[in-house]
């Protein structure tokens, strides 16, 4: 019988994580790849057993009255498990960046100074819903040489426990400490409060979930938080630009999926191309049922489309993340006004320009103060996999430490190394 | 007459800093170098005028009963002003890293993804005593393309105002916004409270001062803090090592200066070389009046030195930052025990090994979890200038964002850039 308090449980997990992190940090590339590949095998072999545990979560979710789309998000289907297994194998195949030394250079004193990439130590991850995040987080912890403490949603607790058990089996198989990855076993909310206030055991917290969760954790945490707030993303169609390309990009950026944070919420159009561009994109949005919230000047160009749903934009629209089939549209004088609008109203997440002008492209890249800035591409590309990071533990809308999609590198830091031959300070 | 509250003053400074930061961020290398070189000229030309203002601080300090060594720290001597001017010129001559693009690589979708180095935006700096820090911070802000708000100690307010006025003159000369560098004009303590709780205007806070100041700021800040806590640094003399070299390094690491954070506080000695090494270093420490706090095993080897001041070490000694002519000494079995001791008792600041063994050197570099890890060199080298950073705004004992000496790069971040040719997400 377990009579420990939640605080005692979390404290003990912290001690174990800190201890395991020393070994994880010096694990060889070979050991880490072995653990990841073995985990991939386990996810495939144990799929039926995992689905038995998963069924408990699904049953409880239905009993609790969750809607079927919400129940769907909890499902560990064969496809989801196969994708998770492939993710582990992809990470195993990537170069290991831990121990990389950069910039080793001799100084006037004779010492050679460089920087070595090292893990942060221990990260805590707090997430809701989808249990496959357990595998994403655990595999990134292994690859980056960090220990981690995972706190999944209570609605997926049985699935998460089963997945975490496989992860720990894989760690042991590779002779790594099983406490390299720990799952919080209790659904008590006090566990989160403890996890985010143990700077002696946890080096960084990564929350994934709704804005409310992230703001609460940021406000209460005593350790750094890699946080993702709003995604108010813009696509700016410049003058001159390839209008056909602009239409394809503006369509994809808004309608490929409505719920992701990197979907475009505001379309800015240079006055010089509005007449050409707006009727074309408006026809597509209208056909797809996307509501257009527009300035007076834009109204004439978008209203002609059959079945167009056009509304006057208010000031609030420019700083609203719709995550829905709605887009705000504004005509601007040109590049300067576009950059000013984005830096004022955007959320510094992801913004794109469609242009043929080299100087405009360069200025947009330099002057737009966002985590991801794009030329002639859809904002939907802002993603760890698409960026070649191999995996993504989250997206940072902060400027400190990591900006944009966070993969293995975002879970590391650089320490200075000095190679001398007996030098002393004069 | 100014009837604004301190909060209103700070709020207005925040608005101005944020506005100026957009221009500072896109300042050309040429503009920044012009501002820095003009500032150097001003510091030399205006030395007499600066010293008139400085005299007010000195007079007030003496009237307030400050000791002469403390008054000395406030002095803007010709030498200090010349050093500050040279620092500005050195920064001007360094390569400009803002806008650097790294790792631009094509992804399977066709987009090319890289990262661009950009300023953090606005930093706030809180410091005590020495007014030349005003120039160090301002010049680093200019070089790194950040705006900054400086809050110096009340004892140096007249000097700081005069120095800040020159900085702003230099910014204007280079056609950069004078609000790129602002000095808090009031000595009201509420100004600090406001500065560290304006995340909308300030991106990072850098406190420089005593541990009390730093802990208070860290606890109350609503923005990230680059902080420097203890410097419990170790020198480990390995078996085998060059004993003469070990003596020179252990001497320098402790006695070169006693007050800096990178002075060695604990000497670890491999049992195999204790008999050779300890009597030699003990003779030097004894001659220099350094108290030795030793384990029983070490006592025999250090007590023979004439006038040796030897004390038994207690458990507390291993985690004490003396900043004084005191050193703790322990004999260890070898590398494993040395690394374990350092990671347990150290402050993750700076630690060195003296060794002839390649494998030991490599393991020490990888396994010691400190911001600066050294082989065959004095811990006193942990410094922005010695590391080739050009300047140092502080030293971070954190793992997040920046570790060790923080120069221009520590005041920057990497954003993702994407170059496409019309790609959309499939």
Under the banding of pLDDT at 50, 70 and 90, the label for residue A169 is very high
Q: What is the tens place of the pLDDT at every residue in B352-401?
A: 999 999 999 999 999 999 999 999 999 999 999 999 998 889 899 889 99
Output the CA angle B253-B259-B263, nearest 5 degrees: 20
Please say whether the beta carbons of A250 and A329 come within 8 A: no
Candidate from A13-17, A187-191, B110-114, B354-358 with smallest mean pLDDT = A187-191
Q: Does B288 touch chain A (CB under 8 A)?
A: no
> What is the structure's pLDDT at A209?
85
Q: Tell whether B395 lies on the interface with A, counting CB pairs under 8 A.
A: no
The reply to whether residue B377 touches residue A121, judged by beta carbons under 8 angstroms, is no
Is pLDDT of B210 > 90?
no
Q: What is the largest CA-CA distance in chain B?
A: 80
Residue B3: pLDDT band (50, 70, 90) is confident
Q: Which residues partner with B187 through β-bridges?
A: none
Contact A403/B416, CB-based, under 8 Å?
yes
B71 touches chain A (CB under 8 A): no
- The C-alpha angle A361, A362, A367, rounded to 5 degrees, equals 100
Q: Measured between beta carbons, which residues in chain B are less than 8 angstroms from residue A26?
A: 366-367
Of residues A271, A259, A260, A234, the one with CA closest to residue A249:
A234
Interface test with A, best of B249, B353, B392, B424 (most A CBs within 10 A): B424
Task: Give per-residue pLDDT as tens, B272-305.
Answer: 999 999 999 999 999 999 999 999 999 999 999 9
CA angle B175, B176, B179 (to 5 degrees): 135
Please give the average per-residue pLDDT across A338-346, as a whole number. Answer: 97
B376–A424 CB contact, under 8 Å: no
Any chain B CB within 8 A of the CB of A258?
no
* Number of CB atoms found within 10 A of residue A415's CB: 22
For residue B147, give the 3-state DSSP assignment: strand
Antiparallel, parallel or unpaired: β A112-119 and A101-106: antiparallel
Angle value at C-alpha B91, between B86 and B96, nearest 5 degrees = 160
| A387 has a chain B CB within 8 A of its CB | yes
Measured torsion, CA atoms of residues A216, A219, A220, A223, in degrees rounded to the nearest 10: 120
Query: What is the pLDDT at residue A211?
Result: 85
Mean pLDDT of A49-55: 98
A256 contacts on B by Cβ (under 8 Å): 424-425
Tens of pLDDT, residues A135-163: 999 999 999 999 999 999 999 999 999 99
Provide the chain B residues 11-40 that lie in CB contact (below 8 A) with chain A: 22, 25-26
Residue B383 Cα distances to A334, B391, B394, angstroms: 47, 9, 9
Task: Choose from A420, A421, A426 for mutation: most chain B CBs within 10 A.
Answer: A420
Average pLDDT over residues B334-339: 98
* Burial class, A377, CB count within 10 angstroms (exposed 0-12 / middle 13-18 / buried 19+): buried
Give the CB-side neighbour count of residue B282, counting CA atoms within 13 A. 27
- What residues of B are in contact with residue A120 (Cβ under 8 Å)? 399-400
Q: What is the ipTM of this complex?
A: 0.94
Percentage, residues of chain A above pLDDT 90:
90
Rounded-to-integer distance, Cα B84 and Cα B132, Å: 7
Contact yes or no for A411/A146 (Cβ under 8 A):
yes
Domains, in order of start, for chain B: 6-227+406-417 (3.40.605.10), 233-386 (3.40.309.10)
3-state secondary structure B318-358: HHCCCCCCEEEEEEECCHHHHHHHHHHHCCCCEEEEECCCH
Residue A311 to residue A98: CA distance in whole angstroms: 52
Close Cβ partners of A237 (under 8 Å, ≥ 6 residues apart)? A246, A250, A267, A268, A269, A270, A273, A277, A354
Rounded to 5 degrees, what are φ and ψ at A291? -70, 135
**Chain A: residue whose CA lies nearest to B24:** A367
| Cα distance between residue A365 and residue A266, in whole Å | 18
Chains A, B: CB contacts within 8 A come to 215
pLDDT in tens, B264-277: 999 999 999 999 99
Task: Tell me how far apart the alpha carbons of residues A156 and A53 are, in angstroms, rounded to a whole number.
Answer: 10
Going from the C-alpha of B281 to that of each of A133, B179, B354, the distances in angstroms are 55, 53, 14
Q: How confident is the model at residue A109 (pLDDT cuts 50, 70, 90)?
A: very high
**Left (φ > 0), alpha (ψ -120 to 50) or beta: where does B359 sit?**
alpha
Measured between CB atoms, which of A99, A107, A371 is closest to B387?
A107
Nearest by CB to residue B415, choosing from A370, A415, A418, is A370
Please provide the DSSP assignment of B258-324 as one string.
Answer: SSSTTSEEEEEEEHHHHHHHHHHHHHHHHHTT-EEEE-HHHHHHHHTSTT--EEE--GGGGG----S
How far off is chain A from B368, nearest CA to CA, in Å? 9
Report the chain B residue with the minimal C-alpha distance to residue A421.
B376
Helix (H, G, I), strand (E, B) or coil at A249: helix
The total of other beta-carbon atoms located within 10 Å of residue A209's CB is 15
Out of A366, A371, A418, the one facing B375 most closely (by C-beta) is A418
Q: Which of A194, A200, A121 is nearest to A151 (CA)?
A: A194
Q: Which pLDDT tens digit goes with each residue over B231-263?
A: 999 999 999 999 999 999 999 999 999 999 999
Q: Give A340 to chain B, closest Cα distance, Å.
A: 10
Q: Among B113, B235, B369, B371, pick the best mutation site for testing chain A contact (most A Cβ within 10 A).
A: B113
Q: How far is CA B260 from the centre of its chain?
A: 11
- Smallest CA–CA separation between B267 and chain A, in Å? 16
Strand partners, B119: B412
List C-alpha distances in Å: A223 to A201, A204, B40, B124. Answer: 10, 6, 40, 20
Residues of B in contact with A245 (CB under 8 A): 422
Q: Pick from A129, A105, A130: which is nearest to A115 by CA?
A: A105
Where is average pLDDT lowest: A280-294, A347-361, A392-406, B46-60? A392-406
Please list every residue in chain A whose beta carbon sits closer than 8 Å to the beta carbon of residue B116: 365-366, 373
Contact A378 B403 (CB under 8 A): no
Query: Average pLDDT, stretch A297-324?
Result: 95
Inter-residue contact A125 to A221 (CB < 8 Å): no
Select from B107, B367, B400 the Cβ nearest to the Cβ of A386.
B107
Average pLDDT rounded to a whole number, residues A406-424:
97
The closest CB to that of A425, out of B224, B371, B378, belongs to B378
SS3 B9: helix
Q: Which helix (H) or strand (E) holds B65?
A: none
Distance from CA of B217 to the nearest CA of A (A): 13
Using alpha carbons, select from A297, A298, A270 the residue that is nearest to residue A285.
Answer: A298
CA proximity to A235, closest of A256, A254, A259: A254
pLDDT reported for residue A2: 57
Q: Does A306 touch chain B (CB under 8 A)?
A: no
Chain A residues closer than 8 Å to B404 by CB? 415-416
Determine the pLDDT at residue A230.
87
> Three-state SS for B156?
helix
Confidence of residue B2 (pLDDT cuts 50, 70, 90): low
DSSP string, A64-117: TT--HHHHHHH---HHHHHHHHHHHHHHHHSPP-TT-EEEEEE-TTS-EEEEEE
Contact B283, B255 (CB under 8 A): no
Between strands B147-151 and B122-127, the pairing is: parallel
Q: What is the mean pLDDT of chain A?
A: 96
Give residues 225 to 244 of A whose Cβ lies within 8 Å of B.
242
Measured between CA atoms, the residue of chain B closest to residue A396 is B415
pLDDT tens digits for range A203-257: 999 999 888 889 999 989 999 999 888 899 999 999 999 999 999 999 999 999 9
The total of other beta-carbon atoms located within 10 Å of residue B78's CB is 11
| Residue-level pLDDT at B190 | 94
Q: How far apart are CA B147 and CA B311, in angstroms?
A: 50
């Amino acid at each position: 019988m377990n009579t420990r308090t939640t605080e005692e449980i979390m404290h003990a997990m912290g001690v174990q994580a800190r201890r395991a992190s020393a070994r994880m940090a010096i694990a060889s590339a070979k050991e880490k790849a072995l653990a990841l590949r073995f985990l991939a095998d386990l996810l495939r072999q144990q799929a039926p057993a995992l689905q038995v545990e998963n069924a408990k979560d699904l049953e409880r979710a239905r009993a609790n009255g969750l809607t079927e789309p919400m129940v769907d998000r909890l499902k560990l289907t064969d496809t989801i498990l196969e994708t998770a297994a492939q993710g582990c194998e992809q990470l195993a195949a990537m170069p290991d960046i831990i121990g990389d030394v950069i910039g080793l250079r001799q100084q006037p004193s004779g010492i050679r100074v460089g920087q070595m990439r090292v893990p942060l130590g221990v990260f805590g991850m707090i997430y809701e819903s989808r249990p496959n995040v357990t595998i994403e987080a655990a595999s990134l912890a292994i690859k980056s040489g960090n220990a981690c403490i995972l706190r999944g949603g209570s609605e997926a607790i049985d699935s998460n426990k089963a997945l975490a058990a496989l992860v720990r089996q894989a760690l042991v198989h590779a002779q790594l400490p099983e406490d390299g990855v720990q799952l919080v076993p209790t659904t008590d909310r006090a566990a989160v409060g403890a996890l985010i206030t143990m700077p002696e055991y946890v080096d960084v917290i990564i929350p994934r979930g709704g804005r409310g969760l992230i703001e609460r954790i940021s406000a209460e945490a005593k350790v750094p938080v890699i946080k993702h707030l709003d995604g108010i993303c813009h696509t700016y169609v410049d003058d001159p630009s390839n209008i056909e390309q602009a239409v394809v990009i503006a369509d994809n950026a808004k309608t490929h999926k409505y719920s992701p944070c990197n979907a475009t919420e505001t379309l800015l159009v240079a006055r010089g191309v509005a007449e050409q561009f707006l009727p074309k994109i408006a026809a597509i949005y209208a056909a797809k049922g996307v509501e257009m919230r527009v300035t007076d000047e834009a109204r004439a160009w978008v209203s002609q489309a059959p079945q167009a749903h056009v509304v006057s934009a208010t000031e609030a629209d420019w700083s609203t993340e719709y995550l829905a089939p709605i887009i705000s549209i504004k005509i601007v004088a040109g590049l300067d006004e576009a950059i000013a609008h984005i830096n004022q109203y955007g959320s510094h997440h992801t913004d794109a320009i469609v242009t043929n002008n080299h100087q405009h492209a360069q200025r947009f890249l330099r002057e737009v103060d966002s985590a991801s800035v794009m030329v002639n591409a859809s904002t939907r590309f802002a993603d760890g996999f698409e960026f070649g990071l191999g995996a993504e533990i989250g997206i940072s809308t902060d400027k400190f430490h990591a900006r944009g999609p966070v993969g293995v590198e975002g879970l590391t830091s650089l320490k200075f190394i000095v190679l001398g031959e007996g030098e002393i300070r004069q």
